[in-house]
Chain A
Amino acid sequence: MNKKSMYMGPLFAVVVVIAIMYLAFVLHTKTSSFEKKIGEKQTELLNTYQKGEKALFYVDRAGKYSINKAIDEIDKGKIELGCGKYKDYALWKNKDNDCYPDLIFKKIIQEKLNEYLGKYIDNYKEAKIPKNNYEIYIKGKKIEAIAIKNILIEDEKNRINYSVKPSFFVNTNYNLMEKYKQYGETAEEALNFIITCLGEGSGEVNDDDLKTCTSKANVKLSDRIIATSYEDLDKEFYLFFDIVEEGKENIKFAVLLKDDIAPPKTTGIKIEKRDSKTYIGWDKNPASDTKIYEIYYKDIDFKKSDDANNLGQTSDTEIETSIKGDYYFAVIAKDEADNQIGPFTTEKLTIS
């Protein structure tokens, strides 16, 4: 026997002993399977399936409640749509942006569904349901949510995995996108009407004038504007809407009316020549928010004189007019939002 085969003998014996022991162990565990009931695994399979169905039902109901809650909150002006809030009203339009819901409805519903459904899922203990898991599809009156990841029901003991893809939908009474678009158009119509009214009227923008123009707009819009608000500090004007639809609660929102209405043309310009100087006067501008008058004169080129701020009276502004020739004068009212009319008309004065 060589040296190699000398070691092979005991090694072979050890391997055989291990193999026999393993066989004995397998036989032992196999006999214990007789202690299981026939059909027990099938029962667990059914129970796992039922767990999945219960989770599906829960997600379906909770998802519907979440979407309905989000729609209700948009309608009641409780959700901020990106343009801020004023009092209890969500702004659908501010100075810089339009935030009409039809433009961002899908995004808002998606965010709110994740938030509200997430809370429902946190409280559900019977299965592990994935969160932030839904793609939203809006087709007419139907809002559909389809899961990205499946719900996985695991029974580790019985080695059962049940995977199911939840989806749910909400049918609304009417096409929400169309409705929101209509409300947006109503708001724009009201704003344009009021701006035109203010421009054609006295040209002033104050509480009284806004109220008058709002009343006129309301006649046109079947009383859909319920109030106006004037923020003197920021020169901001808000229109509040409270639209009642049949079979639905009121829809509340507000829009911001920008003060981009210039005071009308300044009239009654009088030019008086005294010695080498010229004094200029005018009638008080009817715009109540007139802040200053800018005076321009031209000998060769137009020049801007000092601003006149004695708003109630004619100006005593002096302009040097010692050189002979034609002079042209213009007075332009500027309001507190720095709006001013242009181009201006001029008054002529000839120095001989």
Chain B
Amino acid sequence: MNKKGMEGGLLFLVSMLVIAIAIFFVFFYFKAEKTKVKITEDVIKIDNNIELLNILRTYIGDRNVADLIADYYNQKIMAYELTNKIDVLMKEIYGDDVAWAIKVEGQEISNFIVTLGKSMIKESSTSIPNYADSKPINVELRFYEK
């Protein structure tokens, strides 16, 4: 290669570096502007499933709440029997100022009559097995302001 060709190569090299640095500079400049983000506050909802699981595990007599719900689902006990038993348990845990509702496959039972206008405090849901067949029963628990 002659001297002219050498100079051409060097010129190409320097030009490429200049272009790359320019691109990087422009890109970084605009991105740096975007990092000026607003710090905002938000609420992330976590389902209260552990509380529901603990309630389901709790024994009332010789059966736990999950068994009783399965009994209710299989029509072995009436809704009022289940409501009364769970209400005693809820009062023992949370005191008198608790309004709760449990949905068993969409069928709601609760310790209060009028749901309308009550604001929900927390909710949780899970599937429990059914002893009568292998299809799970969906259970939802909600607490409302009394």
Contacts and interface: CB of A to CB of B under 8 A. Distances in A.
Q: Chain A at the B interface: mostly helix, strand, loop or mixed?
A: helix
B142 to A, nearest CB: 17
Interface of A: 1, 3, 6, 9-10, 12-14, 16-17, 20-21, 23-24, 27-28, 31, 34-35, 37, 39-40, 43, 46-47, 50, 53-54, 57-58, 61-62, 65, 68-69, 116, 119-120, 122-124, 126
A52 to B, nearest CB: 10
Q: Chain B at the A interface: mostly helix, strand, loop or mixed?
A: helix
B76 interface: no
Contact of A50 (B20, B34, B50): B50
Contacts of A126: 127
Interface in B101-146: 126-129, 131, 134-136
15 contacts: A23-B24, A27-B27, A27-B28, A27-B31, A34-B35, A47-B46, A50-B50, A54-B49, A57-B66, A57-B128, A119-B134, A120-B136, A123-B135, A123-B136, A124-B136
Interface size for chain B: under 10, 10 to 19, 20 to 34, or 35 or more residues? 35 or more
Contact of A116 (B47, B66, B134): B134
Contacts of B31: 27-28, 31
Contacts of A43: 44, 46
A61 B16 contact: no
B48 to A, nearest CB: 9
B12 A10 contact: yes
Contacts of B131: 65, 68-69
Given A16-B17, A24-B23, A24-B28, A50 B47 contact: yes
B59 to A, nearest CB: 13
Interface of B: 1, 5-6, 9-10, 12-13, 16-17, 19-21, 23-24, 27-28, 31, 34-35, 37, 42, 44, 46-47, 49-50, 53, 56-57, 66, 126-129, 131, 134-136
A46 B51 CA distance: 13
A12 B14 CA distance: 11
Contacts of B24: 20, 23-24
Contacts of B19: 17
Given A37-B42, A61-B128, 14 more contacts: A1-B6, A6-B6, A9-B12, A14-B16, A20-B24, A31-B34, A40-B44, A50-B49, A53-B49, A58-B136, A62-B134, A65-B129, A65-B131, A119-B134
Contacts of A122: 134
